[in-house]
Structure 1
Amino acid sequence: MDHLVEMHYQILKRLNVSDLIRCKSVCKSWLSIIYDPQFIKSHLTQSYLNDRDNDGLGDRRLAISLFPGYLKANPFEIGFNESRILGSCDGLVCVLAYCNKLRVLNPSTREVKRVANPIICIGDGAMYWGVGYDPYTDDYKIIQGFKSGENYYWREVNYTFISSNGVLYNGLLHWVGYNSTEKFVTLSFNLSEEKFVEVPQPNDEEYQFRVGQHESMRLRNMEECLCVFRQELVPREIWVMKDYNNRCWEIFLEYEREKKSDDVHCVKLLTNYVSSRWSLCHDMLWCDNRKLLGTPTFVESLVSPHLLVILA
């Protein structure tokens, strides 16, 4: 890469996605850079760095907006009879729309991939989902499991899932469930090895009494950490894993935490999408509390939704 091209490369990777889309029309050399897979990864890394360096903000949340000024965001779980966001990873968003339609979109580039309908219909049985990136195969994957009768199906998983949406953290997907002894557990799923592993919960009597043995226990991301809480206690009491590798948990009480604003991206409902029109975009608003803790985090990217594998 010569000096001039390298200079253009470094400048372009610091631009936001909307500016890069316009830059594609400037010249062929810029178009070539922006479409390059390595540039897309480099730009994604830069986007994460920009988010972390933006002082005063918490997480970038993602929710569905029905109408201008109206936000549809259940802090915990949204029923399967409604459109819902199943997860987000590297700027890709998986949405289960009305009539059991599964779509993966990039709100920044306005690309949409129509995914084959789920292997069972809404209402036929409890389902769990997850969206993540597999570095081993360099693929983005959607995980779908479902319950029929007394059994969960996804490679004969021997757990009953309480939470339906997998929480992506540290490259792994996480759910809350209980095992064959009816003990509540936190599960992690490795997308490369396709294996479930139990994650140790806080070794604290107060946690076990107030959180660890309640069906309303949920997992989420907060300030770049995995957290666990009871729905009834948010935002007053949240347990945060400050050190994932050493499984180090800390309790964050509302009055002890620094107040931060979350940057919330509102994705318009995915209806009659036409790629040449502004029928799908995202707007931003501010949230000064943790009511949107149940929504996934989001970062702008150039990643295409057409790079996807479905595991069911």
Structure 2
Amino acid sequence: MAKKKKNKPVMSATMKTTTTMADAIEKLPPYLPTEVIFNILINVPVQALLDAKHVCKQWYDIVSDPLFVKAHCQKSSLGFLIQDSNNYSHVNYIDVNMPIEKTKTTKVENPSEATILCSLNGLALLSDPINEEIFHVVNPMTKEKISLPPLKVYWRSPKSAGLAVNSSGHYKVVHVSVDNYGYSYLEQLQIRIFTIGVDKAWRLIDLQGIPNSSTMYQHILIHPYCCRRYIYWFHYYSSFDLALDVDTETIYQFTGPKNEVNDSRVEVVSMETSIGVIDETSTLLNVWKLTDVKSNKWTEFARINVEPVYKRFSKLFGRRFKDGIYPVGLFDGDFWFYCWVGNSKYVVVRKNLADKRFEFFEIERGTLHPHASTYVSPEKLIDNDRALPG
């Protein structure tokens, strides 16, 4: 009995080309509304988003939308960039979104060995190690970077620079220098600003009659405190403290809460949108917050008992533990600081202000920068037609 020949499948014109996986996924019916996918993805870490945007066109469009970038930024939690003090190319990111005992460390590439100056909304301001006239703005997680125009100034210190964002969502880089034009008797304080995506060159800020003096130069050239809309140059024992409102680009002069502080040991910290002064008396920390820079108003913010921390660390680390705390800042109701445990180790501590709990983790010695892992793209900040994350 002769076998029947199997008929070959007829290939239609629409089947002549090979269908890719991406095409197949795109043709699938949308089982979930875009709004639902949006709300799921804003909780996804940046590293996973880099892959998620390639799943299909719908996901790519969602992740690329400036509204998504802004929402993801607002949902991001605190972490820390830690730059090795002896080798600037070694940078780690510590994610403290999970319980401290499960903290995850991610290596961050820094092949140019640039100095990290500050961080805001997941963007880091870097000082170029070769050309001190150039600053870079980079997202360490997505590895996107932009470089700002060179500064053509004769300055005494190149490191006094900060990053801020105004209420319209425009990011601004601010730089302080004492220009002398080659002559010491011509020294003059200069504050320059560059609005990313708007300015083509650096602009001078009107100092509005703020006097120049050698005493001011000693304090104004220190690295500033960057608190979103404001940038502060503040040294507690100085009477030449300045604040820049990047919304109005107005400079204010203010002083610390000298009448309320015992002066036993004073530290200055960032408090997200403002700065604080910590007066350390034995194991009790009194925290004062600048609530109105225009009227130089300070209010008592918190009292923190760190005696339990000292007792715990004395038992855990013995002689390696050195009394004394080094504040990092106050964020989301938590006070962050670090302690020394030996010559090459820090213990970073999160102390909850609402109760007696505290958590800690041990790290290699380095410079700590509070940092949020976000999807904010420095490259897209130069596109003025798109909504910018604020």
- Normalising by structure 2, what TM-score? 0.54
In 2, Cα distance between the equivalents of 1:193 and 1:224? 16
Q: Is the 8 A contact 1:96 1:102 kept in 2?
A: yes
State the one-letter code of the partner of 1:143.
V
Aligned to 2:276: 227
Q: Is the 8 A contact 2:287 2:302 kept in 1?
A: yes
3-state SS in 2 of match to 1:120: coil
Of 101, 107, 115, which residue of structure 2 is paired with 1:84? 115
2:306 aligned with 1:255: yes
Of 28, 37, 49, which residue of structure 1 is paired with 2:57? 28
Aligned residue runs from structure 1 range 51-66, under 5 A:
51=77, 60-65=79-84, 66=87
Aligned to 1:271: none
In 2, Cα distance between the equivalents of 1:120 and 1:70? 30
C-alpha spacing 1:120/1:16, structure 2 compared with 1 (3 Å): same
1:112, distance to aligned residue in structure 2 (A): 1.3
State the one-letter code of the partner of 1:132.
A
C-alpha spacing 1:242/1:206, structure 2 compared with 1 (3 Å): closer
3-state SS in 1 of match to 2:288: strand
1:257, distance to aligned residue in structure 2 (A): 7.8
Aligned to 1:109: 142
In 1, Cα distance between the equivalents of 2:148 and 2:35? 37
Aligned to 1:202: 257
1:221, distance to aligned residue in structure 2 (A): 1.9
- Normalising by structure 1, what TM-score? 0.65
Deviation digits for residues 184-217 of structure 1 (CA, Å, limit 9, x no counterpart): 144221111001123452252544x456xxxxx7
Q: Is the 8 A contact 1:220 1:227 kept in 2?
A: yes
C-alpha spacing 1:286/1:305, structure 2 compared with 1 (3 Å): farther
C-alpha spacing 1:68/1:174, structure 2 compared with 1 (3 Å): closer
Of 245, 248, 253, which residue of structure 2 is paired with 1:190? 245
3-state SS in 1 of match to 2:50: helix
In 1, Cα distance between the equivalents of 2:151 and 2:173? 11
**Identity rate, percent:** 19
Q: Is the 8 A contact 1:185 1:198 kept in 2?
A: yes
Of 129, 132, 135, which residue of structure 1 is paired with 2:164? 132
2:270 aligned with 1:175: no
3-state SS in 2 of match to 1:184: coil
C-alpha spacing 1:103/1:44, structure 2 compared with 1 (3 Å): same
**What is the aligned-residue RMSD (CA, Å)?**
4.2
Aligned to 1:166: 224
3-state SS in 1 of match to 2:124: strand
State the one-letter code of the partner of 1:96.
S
State the one-letter code of the partner of 1:8.
I
Structure 2, unpaired ranges of 5+: 1-30, 93-112, 181-186, 192-204, 311-333, 339-345, 350-359, 384-390
C-alpha spacing 1:142/1:68, structure 2 compared with 1 (3 Å): closer
Q: Is the 8 A contact 1:227 1:240 kept in 2?
A: yes
2:188 aligned with 1:151: yes
Q: Is the 8 A contact 1:227 1:238 kept in 2?
A: no
In 2, Cα distance between the equivalents of 1:94 and 1:166? 12
In 2, Cα distance between the equivalents of 1:64 and 1:187? 28
2:42 aligned with 1:13: yes
For these two proteins, the number of residue pairs brought into alignment is 254
Aligned to 2:153: 120
Aligned to 2:287: 240
In 2, Cα distance between the equivalents of 1:175 and 1:142? 14
Q: Is the 8 A contact 1:176 1:184 kept in 2?
A: no
C-alpha spacing 1:249/1:235, structure 2 compared with 1 (3 Å): same
**Which stretch has the larger CA shift, 146-155 or 28-37?**
146-155
C-alpha spacing 1:258/1:252, structure 2 compared with 1 (3 Å): farther
Structure 1 or 2, whichever has the larger Rg, is: 2
Deviation digits for residues 87-143 of structure 1 (CA, Å, limit 9, x no counterpart): 21100001113112421110111111122233336xx4135311011123x211101
C-alpha spacing 1:70/1:255, structure 2 compared with 1 (3 Å): same
Aligned residue runs from structure 1 range 43-58, under 5 A:
43-47=72-76, 51=77
1:20, distance to aligned residue in structure 2 (A): 0.7
C-alpha spacing 1:146/1:308, structure 2 compared with 1 (3 Å): farther
C-alpha spacing 1:104/1:67, structure 2 compared with 1 (3 Å): closer
In 2, Cα distance between the equivalents of 1:228 and 1:294? 20
State the one-letter code of the partner of 2:117.
L
State the one-letter code of the partner of 2:224.
G
Aligned to 1:98: 129
Q: Is the 8 A contact 2:277 2:289 kept in 1?
A: no
With a CA cutoff of 8 Å and minimum separation of 6, indicate the structure with the bigger relative contact order.
1
Q: Is the 8 A contact 2:82 2:367 kept in 1?
A: no
State the one-letter code of the partner of 2:299.
C
Aligned to 2:68: 39
